[in-house]
Copies of this chain bind each other. A is one copy, B any other.
Amino acid sequence: MTFAEPAAETCAGERDCKHGRGTNGCDDCKVRLFSVCGALEPEELDELDHLSQVKNFAAKTMLFDQGALAGSVFNLTEGIVRLYKSLPDGRRQIVGFALPGDFLGLALMDRYGVAAEAVTPVRVCRFTRAAFLTYVDGKPHLLRRLHEFAGHELSLAQDQMLLLGRRNADEKVAAFLLNLQARYGRIGAKSVNVPLPMSRQDIADYLGLTIETVSRTLTKLAKEKTVVVVPDGVRLLSTDRLDQLAAA
């Protein structure tokens, strides 16, 4: 989940980059962008790098709000971000968790379609929308990559619709755990130990359940030796069983 857009130029919880490089960006960004944009020329990477600015956000602070003017594009380099939509009465649907390497605001629309909050302390590379657009506009192949990327995002969203509309609690939780494991794997931390830095409430709001049901489902999976619940995460004992539950 990496699609939404950035808003506030100055945010509560925002601190200076420890790199102290001001507007010059950081190497993290190069790496991450490369993975999205495919083969860029070194000078292009440099150019892009110069457009970025490192920013930090404390846990629970908002990177941008739903409907806010989309002033920035972010690349998440550290931490976890939740993206969500809310109903006026407070009901909330988390539409995705962004992990390191993910982009926020890549849709390049003029307003953010979702809100984004730091789950953990977060570091991002920020581009102003204008600069990013200017950079991108002259590069059709990049535009193409971006569009492909958008298609992929849409496909993930549709998978989540299937999950929300047609799966039961066990299947939802199993799919969530496997999905998180796979994503951690892609950023170099593949393991049966799956950290869950987000709260039960976050998981519930992502899966269309309540905290109690999430909790009960996890203890149920634990009782049948499918997972072990540990502080701040779970250990997967039987991915087979989880696969069976999540059955795509």
Complex CA–CA separation, A158 to B164 (angstroms): 11
Count of chain copies: 2
The complex places the Cα of A103 from the Cα of B205 at a distance, in Å, of 31
Q: At the interface, yes or no: A88 with Cβ under 8 Å from chain B?
A: yes
In the complex, identify which listed stretch (A13-21, A138-146, A191-199, A232-240) lies at the interface while the others stay far away. A138-146
Does A114 reach chain B (CB closer than 8 Å)? yes
Contact B152 A109 (CB under 8 A): yes
Q: Are B157 and A157 in contact, with the CB atoms below 8 A?
A: yes
State how many angstroms separate the Cβ of A84 from the closest Cβ of chain B: 9
Interface of A is mostly: helix
Partner of A166, one of B93, B137, B159, B248: B93
Task: Judge whether A154 and B159 touch: CB under 8 Å.
Answer: no
Instruction: Check B140–A95 contact: CB distance below 8 A.
Output: no
Most B C-beta atoms less than 10 A away, residue of A109, A143, A154: A154
A183 lies within 8 A of chain B by Cβ: no
Give the Cβ gap from A64 to chain B, nearest Cβ, in Å.
14
**A229 in the interface (beta carbon within 8 A):** no
In contact, A85 and B158 (Cβ under 8 angstroms): yes
The verdict on A119 contacting chain B, using a C-beta distance below 8 Å, is no
Q: Is A107 touching B155 in the complex (CB atoms < 8 A)?
A: yes
Which one of B88, B114, B147, B162 contacts A146 once the chains associate, using CB atoms below 8 Å? B147
Distance in angstroms from A127 CB to nearest chain B CB is: 16
State the CA gap A146–B248 with chains docked (Å).
29
Known: A144-B137, A157-B158. A208 touches B151 (CB 8 A): no
Contacts of A153 in B (CB 8 A): 154
A3 in the interface, Cβ–Cβ < 8 Å? yes
Query: Are A155 and B93 in touch, CB under 8 angstroms?
Result: no
27 A-B residue pairs with Cβ-Cβ distance under 8 Å, sorted by A, are A3-B154, A85-B159, A88-B248, A91-B166, A91-B167, A93-B161, A93-B165, A93-B166, A95-B161, A107-B150, A107-B151, A107-B155, A109-B155, A113-B158, A137-B140, A138-B140, A140-B143, A150-B150, A150-B154, A154-B157, A161-B164, A164-B164, A164-B165, A165-B205, A165-B207, A165-B208, A166-B208
Q: Which 4 A-B pairs have the closest CB atoms?
A: A107-B151, A165-B208, A150-B150, A157-B157
5 additional contacts, CB 8 Å, given A107-B148, A107-B151? Answer: A85-B162, A91-B167, A150-B150, A160-B161, A166-B208
